[in-house]
Structure formats: C-alpha cells, structure tokens
Structure 1
Amino acid sequence: MSHVRSHPDRLLEKHTVGVWSLMTEEIENIGKFIDCENLFGISQSELSVLVKGIAIFHDLGKASEYFQSHLSGARVDSELSQHAAVGSLSVGHYLDGKIPDKSGAAILIAMAVIKYHHGSARDPKLILDSFDENQKFLEKIVRKLDENYLSWMEDLLDETVDLDLPSLIPRILSWERNYRKHREESGIKYYVLFQYLFSLLTWADRVDAAFRGDYKSERQTFSPDIVDIFRTTAGFDEPKTDMNLLRNNFYREAISNLDFTVGSMKGRTGIGKTLATLSLASKKREIIAEEQNYLPRIVYCLPFLSIIDQTFATIRDVLETSKIKVTSDILIQQHHLTELSYIKRKDGDENENYDAYLADILLNSWDSEIVITTFVSLFHSILTDRRNTRFFRLPGSVIILDEVQAIPPKYWKVISEVLEHLSKWGGTKIIFSSATIPQPFFVSSFPLIKGEYNLDRYDVRYLGKMGIEEFKYGLLEESVNTAMEEDKSLMIVLNTINCCKELFEHLQDSGSFTDENLHCLSSSLPPAVRREIIKNIKKKKGFQVLLTTQLIEAGVDISFDYCIRDLGPLDSVLQVAGRVNRSCEGNRGEMTVVDLLKEDSGRPFSWIYNDTIIWTTREILSSLKGSISEPALYELGDQYFSRLMNKGLENESLELLEALVKLDFERIAEFSLIEQLKGAVSFPVFLEIDDEAKRFWENYCEVLSTKPPIEAKFEYIAKRKQAVRNLAPYVVNVRLFLYPGAKKYTLPDIQHGFCYVSSDELEYYYDTKTGLKSDEESLFL
C-alpha cells in the first residue's frame, strides 16, 4: 500500500475509492429519470465510464513528491505542487478508445473537469494550450509520482496508467475537431454535461475529504398529504369568510392535476400559493416515487432573502402538524447567510449535530428532502464558471419557482430554455408560481389553475409626473390626513433610499407623529432592525405610516389600507399592490402611482430601472382613465409582459445561450441576477448597535487572529464563514455613486473587510430611525 495522502488525515488511495464510490452511487439510478443521450449527448454507459475516469484520476498529481512535501507544510513551488494537470492528462489516455471518437467532446470535458476542479471552469479546447505552457513542470511532476500508488492504480484499473503527453496531442486535436463539428447541433448538451460532472466531482471530493469516507445518504419520507393535514387542523377546509372560501377553492384546483412536467400556478397575492405549491410538489413527489422508483427532492426557490424565513417557518409548521421531527435532513434553508448548522435524526429520539464545516457542505449540496433557497443560489449554480455542489441535484428534482416574474426580463429566454432542457430530458419537474407569469415561462407550461379567482380588494389610479415638492405638500399631506382621520394605515414606496429618508424626515418634522405610528424602512437600516420594524407594524392596528423602498415588494406578509407607489416596473407595482387590503380585512383599499421627479433636475427617481421597462410601464399606465380595479390591473400586467417580449430585451439571453453552446465560461461568468448599478462602489458597514452585535464582532476578530494548523483547514474555513454570517444582521451595504451631486458618506476605516462602527461612535454614523447617515447628516461636519 502507498502511504501518500490526499489530505492531512486521508490516504490518497482511500480518498480516490471514496470519491469513485460517491459519484457512482449518484449515477447508479439516473436511468430512471434521465435521458442521457438527449440531456448530455452521450449514453448512460458512456457517462459511467466518464465518472469512473474522473473519480480515479482527479487527484493523481497528489501522489507526487512535490505535493506530499507541500501537504507536510514545506515550501514548494506552486507550479510543482499543483496536481490537477497530471490527472487531466492521464484521464485523456484512459478514456481514449473507451469513448467513441464521435463523442470526443465528452473526453475533453472530462479532462477539463479534472484540470479545473479546484478553480474556475474554462473551455475544454484550452486544455492543450495549458499543457504546452506547463509542459516542463508537468514532466517534473510525472517523474516524481509515487511508484507504489501508480502500481495500486494500475491494479484497480487493470491497465497501464499512461502519462505521455506527446502521444496524446494528436488525439486531443482530433477530439477538438469533433467538438467543433458537432457543437452547434448539440446545443447546450455539452454545457449540461460539463456542469453535471463538475458539480458531481466537487461534491464527492469535498464530502469524502470532510467525512473521511463516513458519509451515508439516508433519504427521508413524509406523507404527501402534509398540507391537507395542516389545513384541516387549522380549519382552512371549512371557510367562514368569502376570502377563505376563495382560497379553499383555489387550493382544491391547484392540487387536482398531477399529470404535468412543467406547471404554472397563476394566482393573486394572498390567495394561498405557498401551501398550494408545497402540497402539489409533495403529491407529485409521491407519485414519482411509486411509478418510477426514485425519490425527488423538493427545491423551493424565492427571489428575496426577506421572505425566506417566513416561508421556512410556514413549511416547518406544516411538517410539525403531521408530527414530523423537523431535522435538517427533512428541511433546510440555504443561502449565503444561512447559519452553519445541520442536525440529522438518529434512531430513537437522538439527533446528530454536525460540526460547522460538515454542515456547510451538507447545506450547500442541498442534502435535504425540502430545500428553501433563493433564485441567486439556483441560477448562479446553473449559469456559472465556479465550482458548485448543487447542479447535479437538479435532474430528477421538483423545483418550485415562486414569484417567477422577479427574474429580470433580459434573462427570461436563457433561463426558460435551460429549465425546459432539464425538464424535457432530465426528469426535472417545475412549478412556476406568481400572480403574473412572464410569457416565456407561461407558454411552455401546463396551466394548473384555469378557474377565475378574481380578488377585487382595491382600486388603482395613475397621476403621472409630479415634482417632489408638489408631492410633499399635496398628495402626501392629503393621504396622511385621510389615513389619520379614518384611523387607517398608509404605505409609501419610493425608488431610492435618499428619497425615502427625505420624505420620512419631512413627516417627522411636521410634529403629527409618534415613534409608534411613523416608520422608515430601507437598506440603510441593518436587517436585524428591519425585521423588528416589520414585526411591530404587523402587530399594530389603526393609523400608521410606513415610508419604504422596494424591499417591501414581494412576499412580505403585511397589509395596508392605502398605498402610494413611485413609478417602477409594472410587475413591481403589482407586487406592492399585493400589500394593500391583503386579506380583505377592511373596506376597499386604494393605491396611487406617481412618477416622482427631482425638482432641480427634473430627473425621475425611476432612473434606477431599465429604461425600456420603465417606458413600457409609463406607456401602459398613461392610457388609464381614472381608477381601475384589481382585476383590471392584472390584465395590464399580462399586457405588460407581452409588450416586453417585443422590446429587444432578449439580446443578453441570446448571447448567454451562444456562450453555453460554445462553453465560453468567461462570458457565462458575467451572468448575475443581482443588478450592478453603473458608477457604484459598494462598502459593507458593520454597526455595533447592541450587545449581541458587539459579541459577534469580538468573535469575528478572534477567529481572524487565529492561525489554524494545516490539518484543521476545513474546520477553520467553516468557523470563519460562520463568524461572517453572524455579522450579517448588523451590516449595511453602502453604494457610493460617482456621478456629480450624489450623496457622500463619511465612512470609518476598514477593519477586517468591514467599515467598523463601534458602539461608542454609533451616533456619528447612524440614525436609529433612518439608518446610516450621509455626509450632510454626519455629526463630524
């Protein structure tokens, strides 16, 4: 036996076999739900050969004397301690002849998966260039490979391990010609194959190293009727109001048709889509398990972090009502701020609580039956050049895309085509859910709701352009007085933080409000404070006024009698409207849309949005005569999405689709669901607003000052990651704009990656009502 190691506490032989075992186990049953030929462009048997080659050769370079010295802590030239290139070279020889030349692209992909499995993905056609650049180092590494390990590999494979580069070059050139020849006709198949293998190797590599071969995949079952049981227990199936009767009828229709691959559930805000989609997914999962003998995971995706906790709590309540012990192997939430905690059920009443670094791996690989996650997590796992441990989970899963209209129009086409490919050939079932579903997603899906559930809770009017000063002393004053006289609530949604602060301070200065009935909500306030504000608003009845930015738009379970919305995309207007008279709890609600302008420049505050989208919205709303009802507003929403289809917004998607076909990862890496405003630079500001924040900052500093031993590398990384996540509720991300006249901020010095505001300096930088101060407000001036 060879004594070379893959990691400080893991023998390379055991790691290699462990990774092979994990990858093989994952693809063992994919024939039950994946059509390999159409999904990947290769047969299932060829996929098995690729997986074997990738698993066994991926860490071959670690058997070199150079890498072993590096692992022991010695200083070694980075070019000589690298290991991926050797495995990439040798897997090419291994697969030559086992994969037919017509599938030569698959060999190049396997080589690229190994070559880049510790970095960013690159086009497989660059493999030969990288070999040429590193040939002298590659030859040195090959000469220093452990002979005992090579002998063990040859016994395992029952063939010689070929490490000769020159003899492989003609074959690589032949595979490249084949790759170029069939690339266009293969469409995105090669891309899907690359991402599947890339994520599968990354997952298996991390899991085996962290668990030291002791990982066991133990799937959990639960009743498909969990939502029905919850609804019965809560009395939802015996409605006593017209609103609840409508919700009940909607739910019954939503779960009545389970014969779909891609379904769209179109229903108004507040109609009960969360429970309906969960129930539908649970019942679909059970049918698939019975008919196809495999158990899909449910991946519930939401556009905003602000509604993750709310959805997680609802689903947890559903499971607990059925007496299900909600451990992490049943339900998790996963996003960049998730606490690194993973608890797994054991026999009896005992639980196993995993260390943070193990929890991190399990959470990021969606190792649970129901996963609550974000659009960013999902789509940045699909359209990316980065390693991830999730893409291979998508085939065979049931994916819920809640509030699907939140996907930027420029990405509609590319996302819909990738999802269609996965659903058509990868066994992925998809449920689109929203009050308004963009056409690319709607036309390719089966309508799960055909009945009319026309809620009519409010009226909407559009007043057009209005200067901010005219608004202050006209519409705003009138609306506040009306709400006060009638003891009702009013929400004003603005497009920018500065506008939100200005109007809040204007009302505050009027002397008509107390701290209890005037609220300001924007991203200038840290998340911990925003959560408390929303909680307090939900508790309070009667007169109150909230000034907020768009962060209130989707999914937040909050209701107001009256609303004013500065002009934004029509789908955003619809989302805000969903917070007006949400449950028909009072008299008819009213919503007013205005196009606010800065007095000095005449520039609308809607400049933050895409021009084409705003022009389309303005065009549609300008045609209104007087007030319209809620149903009429949603008809305008459908018209809005139809018009956007013809506005040339799909160019970005077409470029991305071309990049997927060409495996142009540099272009793919530019994809981002998070819009980056031009001319903006972001700084994270940590605000030490209470004792808990102070404790978390001290812990963070302590973690950073620790220098871990090499054998505790993964534990340290997880500990540091958790320390950063603990800070998140107290962090405000400030965007500084470079255009003339933009507000400036006096920020403290950066410490450990954050602009740190201690409790002693808090008053200089932070206002408890409006958040971080700009230069104009700073006490330093």
Structure 2
Amino acid sequence: MIRSANALCLGEFAVFVSNGQLYAHSRSAVSGHRHALEEHLRGSAELAGRFGEVFGAGELAAYLALIHDVGKGSCLWQDRLREAERRGGGRVGAPHKHAGTLLADRYTQLAFGAVVFGHHGGLPDMDKLRTELVKAQPGGEHAELVEEAVRAVEQTVPQIHPEPRPGIPAWLGDVPKAERRLGLDLLLRMLFSCVVDADFLDTAAHFEGAAVRLRAPADMGVLVERYEKRRAAVLARREPSPVDGVRQAVYEQACAAASGRPGAYVLHVPTGGAKTLAAGGFALRHAAMHGMRRVVLAVPYISITEQNAGVYRDLLDPEPGSGQEAVVLEHHSAVDLDAEAPLGGLSPEQQAQWERRAHAARLAAENWDAPFVVTTTVRLFESLFSHKPSAMRRLHNLAGSVIVLDEVQALPDRLLTPILSVLRGLVDHFGVTVLLVSATQPSFWQLPRWQGLERRVIVDDPAALFEQLRRVRYEWRTGEDVTLESIAAEAAGHRQVLTVAATTKDTARLHRHLDAMTAEGEVLHLSTRMTGAHRREVIARVKELLAANLPVQVVSTNLIEAGVDLDFPRVYRAWAPAESMQQAAGRCNRDGRLDSGTVVIFRPQGGGQPQGTEYRAAVQASDTFFGPQLAYPDDLDALERYYPVRYALQPGLGEEIEDLRRRLDFPKVDRAFQMIEDGYSVPVIVIRRKADREAIETSVARLLDPSRPCGPEVLRSLQQHTASLPRHEAEAALRSGLATPVTGDLIWWHGAYHEWRGLDPDDVEDRGSFVC
C-alpha cells in the first residue's frame, strides 16, 4: 500500500518520521542528531555540481547527486535504519538504489543511471543496469518501494523531477561515432567521481558533527612565486656542481614552454638533469597561466613519491606555525577500501568484524583535494579504471589539472592502449595537460591512440643534452662464474657502492653477503618491505655518509633507481630492461665531480627475476640491442629501436580493455586493468618504535570503529608506518596470528621487524620476537 505524504509510515516508525521527516543516516556520535534526507540530497547535489562544473557537466552531476539516495524515502528503509541504530551501526540492509536509477533513466538516459545505482557497490555493467531497472518499473520486484520513496521525497525535494532536463556536455556529440562510447565511458567515470565524493564528504561531515571540509582554490600565481624564491635559496646553499649550467638551461626551457596551450608535453632529459625541479616549474607556471586548479605528479615507485613530496613540500608548503593548510599532499597508501572480501586467513569472527567496518571505512579514501598532489602511477591509473567508489572519488579533481607522469617509461606495456586513450580523453575534453618526464622516453606517438595528437617538446635537442651529461662508463659481468656472492665480494672492495638487485629476496641476500664481507663503513638496505619512515631514514643516512665522504654500501631494489637524488662513484645493477639499467646509472657520478663513474651490469647465476611476460619481453628486447659488443643503455638511437621491438614481443597492449570500455562494462574493465598483475602487494602497518605506538594505535582505532567514520587524514597519518608484503605472505601471517585485519586489505603486523631489512623474507619468524 502506498502511504500519503502526511502519513509516511505506520506503526512504531510513524514517530521516527513525524512531520514527514526522513533520514539519510543514523545519529552522529558527536552531535547526537540524525542526518535529514533532504539535507543530504541537497548538500550532495551542491557539492557534485561544483565538482562537475569544472568540465562542463555541473548541472548533470548535481542532478545525479540529488537523486542518488531518493530510495531511502521508503518506509522499509527508514524502519531498517532504526533497527541498525539499535544494533550499534552497520548496514541497513534494505534496497535504496532503484528509485534514483529510475529517475536517472527517465530524465537523462539509461547509462547515467549507472552513476546512481553504483554509488555504494560500484559502477555496474549495462546488462546488470537494465535488469535492475526492470525491478524498479511498474510490476517489478521493487516497484512499490520505488513509488513510495519517490512520492515521499518529492514533497520536500520537488527538483527530483527537473524541468528542463539536465543537459549532457555538447562535446560528447562531437566525438567521432567510433570513439563516442569511449568518451561516454570517461564522462561516466568523472560524473561518478563527483557524486561519490560529494556523498562521502557530506556523510563524513554529518558523523563528525562539522561542516563539509572543502579547500578554497589555490592561487597558483602565489605558489609560482614561492617556488621560485625557495628554489633560488636551495641552489644558493648547494655545493656548486660541474653540471649546474646544464640543469639551469633545462629549467629555463621548461619555464618558457609553460606558456604553450594545454596539451601533451615531453620533457626528455638525462638522469641528473634536475627533472624534478624543471617539471615542477613547468607545471606550476602552466597551471597559473591557464587557470588550472592543481598539479598531480605521479611516479612509479613509492620511494620517489616520498622523496619528491619532500622536495616539493620544502618549496611550496607554508611556513610552520602560519596556520595555513599544507600545499603538497602525498598519497601512496595502497589500502584497498573497496575490497569485496577480506584477505584469506581470517577467523569467522574477524570476517564479521571486517564486514561491519567496511562501509564506514570507505569515507577515509583520499580525494586529492590539494593544490599539489604527489602520488603513484598505480594509484592514478587504477583509480581511473576502477569501478569502485573509494578509488574513484578523486577522479573529478583531475579535471582542469596538470598531470605530470614522472619516469613514464615504467608504465606497463600491456596496459598502454587504455592508458594512452584515457590520457588523450582527459586532454581533449577535461582541460588537462599531460607532461611526460623521462630519460628514456618511450615511443608513444608511434602507437595508434596518440597518432594525430600534437607532441610538444620542452628540450629542443635531447641528444646534445645527453652528450653533455654523459658521466659514466659501463662494464659487464655476464660469465658463468658470476653469482650474488661474487658480486658482493667485488663490491666490498670499494668504499662507496650502490648495488641494485632484481628482487626483494636477492636484495636481502646481497645485503647479508655484503654485511659479512665489508670491513669498513655501514651496509644499508632499501626495499618496500621497510616502512616509508624507515626508507626515508636510510636515504637520509646515505646522503649524510656520501656528503662526508665516508664509506658506505647500499643494497636496494629498483625503488632507488628513479627520482632518488644520490651520487655514488660506483654502481652495480643486476641485468634488467635497458631503461632500468640507465636509471641505475643515474645514481652514479650524478653531479659530474669525477671524470667518469663506473656502472657494472651483472647477470648472476641463480638470481631471481620479476615474473610476467611483459618483463621477459623487455629483457629480450634489451638483449637484442644492449650489452657487450652492443650499445650502452644510454644510446638514444638504440632506445628508439628498442621500444617497438619490445612492444611487438608481447601479445597485446591492452586493446581488449578498450573493447570493454566501449561496452561500458565497468566491472570487467576493473578486473582486466591491473597495474600490479596478481594483486601482489598488501599494505602492512608496523610499529617500529615505542614513540610511534600511541599515534598509530589511535589511528587504527579510528579505522576499527564503524560508529565513527573518519576522513582521509587517518590513512595519510599511517602511510609512513606502512610496508608491503606479497599477498600469500600476508594471508599466511593472518592465519598464524602474526597480523590482524584492519580495513580493506590493510593489516596490522604483530611479528618481527628487522632493524635493517624490515619484513625480511628469509628470516624465520619467532612468535617470541614480536615487536608490538
């Protein structure tokens, strides 16, 4: 039976919704008030409209947010909300997505209904959407609930029946028919981001008993002035280097190029050419000149995120004690808050607790609301190709931004077609400029997705620049007698050496060998099995030792190869793709103070190699062009020939994902687009020091409490205390009690943590050696 607006529900719940009041969320533990549904719908619509206005879809974004929770107007949902309150929180357990989906289909078009239907569980495929829409239509399974909810909500929010209907951005009709579905796919992703971020922000504000937290737009011109002033001060304090003149010339060319119109730019500079400062200078100026809102810098390795964020914080953040918000946001948290199921190894009780926390924890997802964001390419592109709300809430903040892809050669070949397609869509329709930064620029313009896109270069003559900055000579160790132990013995005979291994296990083993063989100086280790704070401390210590000309041995995974500003006279690098060999060489004689540094490339018998057809293809192509009696890794002509051969050796570059995007099959796109092929890495919270315990435990407690949803700042605070483990090791740790689940795929480590190697893959765990 459909009730009238003046008697919304019968029985006990009539009191709860007295005077026609409907609620969207239960009581806030802070304010003691429930969240009125009208307030939530209008508040979300206002925010989403503001977000969508940046790319010409403000009206459409606002309408989809206005209707996203209309289904909560049914008596069943309102009654279940009260029951959930009695239980102390958790899921309401009544459908509410169908009413808004029906309205979206009625007043826009079916595809936009996916934004509404997916705002909790994720964007659906079109078959699923059609099936669910039938349930909302007359005679359908949810038809009575839908009609009841719509009649109730339209009494206070009549705008759910818009006149005129919200418009669709005109550019979509101008896209060639063959590519229009790809344009629609990207538009839906951006609209979905607007709606879920608005929903999350408005909901979090309710539970925190505070106003919505939204930053005012930054004055990019002021940031340019601050950047220039502080950069000049930093350079004045540095010891002069023979390559300073070349670096200054690169910086000046980057600043001059910033006046060019938005589009796709290339910064092709050798390692040691001060790309970090030049990229920042270009991006900030370009944003200021063209009224763009933010800079998003994406890098392949967490170590670069940490170092670059530190550099940019020094150059851009306000003075301590000023009371102003930080400019630079560092985001590399790998926590999957949208995980549909917990990791294996949990007890039934732990699984139940995980499920109760899951929904509230999603409000902690990062949304990149900052003028200068430093993140990883994994976070950037897995967000763009996800179908889940927590990962996608940040996407709308890419519109009207400068995206800097540092060390762009590290993008996975098997996903290049969809990556380049989406980047071009952002440039063409969402006011984005893309800057590709690398010493080993891939041949992207030879691939179909970027044919016809103007390529704007920042450095006119890269070959001359490479010749000016050539500072090393290469040696090769490829015989059958080459082992990890023999390389350690050779390296131990030198005072200052960096050795880069192919895997975390080889890195730990080399560290053991060197520690046993080195008679003088410190032997340090770097890998993602160490927490972010631990890695930063080690890198800072390495810089101190090098600056004092003291002996030091460093053994690292490839995380040190790009963006980490270290200068060794001698570097050893396990055999790898050509670009990795050249990147390792960038840590040798970086400042040009020696006549020549030495880079030793070695193939150890029995050494490990990363898995995957992509890596094998890159190594095979490298074998064709680089090595003894062949080219050196910094030969630009050889690199130009290398990339097409490398691409041809692979079964494809992700064309099948483009087909899925054309079908608007968002879940399958998400499953197919995996930057890390096998879901390898799991984030692990570690307490290394007693001084950190209270802060970490407080943050974890916030994440564990489903009655007090928190914002992104909690996960930000834990980034520095997080290491990584392979998934199978994480699940084994959960089964054995060495770790406990927190939220998503985030776990809390209760086992041993090695003072040098972190979560050491070869250490036998001893339950008696727990550190927390």
- CA distance 1:731–1:421, shift in 2 (3 Å): closer
1:583-629 deviation per Cα after TM superposition (whole angstroms, max 9, x unaligned): 1233411011122221xxxx76465672211111122224635x95x
Distance 1:503 1:774 in 2: 13
Pick one of 48, 69, 80 that aligns with 2:79: 69
1:496-511 map, 5 Å: 496-510=503-517
1:116-265 map, 5 Å: 116-132=118-134, 137-142=141-146, 144-145=148-149, 147-154=151-158, 157=161, 184-211=178-205, 214=212, 218-221=216-219, 222-223=221-222, 224-235=224-235, 241-257=241-257, 258-260=259-261, 261-265=263-267
* Aligned 8 A contact 1:225 1:282 in 2: no
1:283-362 map, 5 Å: 283-289=285-291, 295-319=292-316, 327-328=324-325, 330-336=327-333
Please state if 1:554 is matched with 2:562. yes
1:511-552 deviation per Cα after TM superposition (whole angstroms, max 9, x unaligned): x425x4222333444443333222211111233222222222
Match of 1:25 in 2: 50
Once the two structures are TM-superposed, the CA of residue 131 in structure 1 deviates from its matched residue by 3.7
1:363-393 deviation per Cα after TM superposition (whole angstroms, max 9, x unaligned): 8222222222221222122111112222222
The residue identity in structure 2 corresponding to 1:538 is: K
The TM-score with structure 2 as length reference comes to 0.78
Please state if 1:513 is matched with 2:513. no
- CA distance 1:86–1:79, shift in 2 (3 Å): farther
1:196-253 deviation per Cα after TM superposition (whole angstroms, max 9, x unaligned): 2111111222223333575665212133344433343345699954311111111111
Once the two structures are TM-superposed, the CA of residue 54 in structure 1 deviates from its matched residue by 1.7
* Aligned 8 A contact 1:518 1:546 in 2: yes
Match of 2:349 in 1: none
Distance 2:644 2:145 in 1: 59
Match of 1:662 in 2: 663
**Residues 449-458 or 142-151, more deviating:** 142-151
1:283-682 map, 5 Å: 283-289=285-291, 295-319=292-316, 327-328=324-325, 330-336=327-333, 364-387=366-389, 388-440=392-444, 444=453, 445-451=455-461, 452-454=464-466, 455-469=469-483, 472-473=485-486, 475-481=487-493, 483=494, 488-510=495-517, 512-514=518-520, 516-540=521-545, 541-598=549-606, 605=609, 610-622=615-627, 624=629, 628=632, 631-632=634-635, 634-648=636-650, 651-672=652-673, 674-676=675-677
- Is the partner of 2:603 in helix, strand or coil? strand
Once the two structures are TM-superposed, the CA of residue 83 in structure 1 deviates from its matched residue by 0.7
- CA distance 1:478–1:16, shift in 2 (3 Å): closer
Once the two structures are TM-superposed, the CA of residue 464 in structure 1 deviates from its matched residue by 2.8
The residue identity in structure 2 corresponding to 1:463 is: R
- CA distance 1:310–1:83, shift in 2 (3 Å): same
- CA distance 1:377–1:142, shift in 2 (3 Å): same
* Aligned 8 A contact 2:40 2:203 in 1: yes
Match of 1:690 in 2: 689
Match of 2:277 in 1: 275
1:88-99 map, 5 Å: 88-95=101-108
- CA distance 1:17–1:556, shift in 2 (3 Å): same
- CA distance 1:661–1:329, shift in 2 (3 Å): farther
* Aligned 8 A contact 1:288 1:296 in 2: no
Distance 2:186 2:387 in 1: 12
Once the two structures are TM-superposed, the CA of residue 468 in structure 1 deviates from its matched residue by 4.9
1:282-335 deviation per Cα after TM superposition (whole angstroms, max 9, x unaligned): 22122213xxxxx43221222222122322222222236999968446332233
RMSD: 4.1
| Structure 2 residue runs without a partner (length 5+) | 1-18, 27-33, 166-172, 338-358
Once the two structures are TM-superposed, the CA of residue 647 in structure 1 deviates from its matched residue by 2.6
Distance 1:334 1:373 in 2: 5
- Is the partner of 2:149 in helix, strand or coil? coil
1:109-154 deviation per Cα after TM superposition (whole angstroms, max 9, x unaligned): 2212111111121123432212446765413413643855333334
- Is the partner of 1:380 in helix, strand or coil? helix
Once the two structures are TM-superposed, the CA of residue 457 in structure 1 deviates from its matched residue by 1.1
- Is the partner of 2:649 in helix, strand or coil? coil
The residue identity in structure 1 corresponding to 2:183 is: K
Q: Using CA pairs under 8 Å that are at least 6 residues apart, name the structure with larger relative contact order, 1 or 2.
A: 2
* Aligned 8 A contact 1:184 1:661 in 2: no
* Aligned 8 A contact 2:499 2:555 in 1: yes
- CA distance 1:62–1:186, shift in 2 (3 Å): same
Match of 1:733 in 2: 725
Match of 2:353 in 1: none
- Is the partner of 1:152 in helix, strand or coil? coil
Once the two structures are TM-superposed, the CA of residue 655 in structure 1 deviates from its matched residue by 0.8
Distance 2:295 2:383 in 1: 16
- CA distance 1:66–1:414, shift in 2 (3 Å): same
Distance 1:124 1:360 in 2: 25
Once the two structures are TM-superposed, the CA of residue 685 in structure 1 deviates from its matched residue by 6.0
| Structure 1 residue runs without a partner (length 5+) | 32-46, 96-106, 162-178, 290-294, 341-356
Once the two structures are TM-superposed, the CA of residue 581 in structure 1 deviates from its matched residue by 1.1
Match of 2:29 in 1: none
Distance 2:682 2:59 in 1: 48
The TM-score with structure 1 as length reference comes to 0.77
Once the two structures are TM-superposed, the CA of residue 674 in structure 1 deviates from its matched residue by 3.9
Match of 1:174 in 2: none
- CA distance 1:281–1:441, shift in 2 (3 Å): farther
- Is the partner of 1:199 in helix, strand or coil? helix
Distance 2:729 2:199 in 1: 42
- Is the partner of 1:73 in helix, strand or coil? helix
* Aligned 8 A contact 1:746 1:775 in 2: no
Distance 1:744 1:330 in 2: 38
* Aligned 8 A contact 2:531 2:723 in 1: yes
- CA distance 1:393–1:700, shift in 2 (3 Å): closer
**Residues 317-326 or 211-220, more deviating:** 317-326
- CA distance 1:358–1:622, shift in 2 (3 Å): same
- CA distance 1:10–1:772, shift in 2 (3 Å): closer
Please state if 1:751 is matched with 2:758. no
The residue identity in structure 1 corresponding to 2:388 is: R
Distance 1:433 1:235 in 2: 22
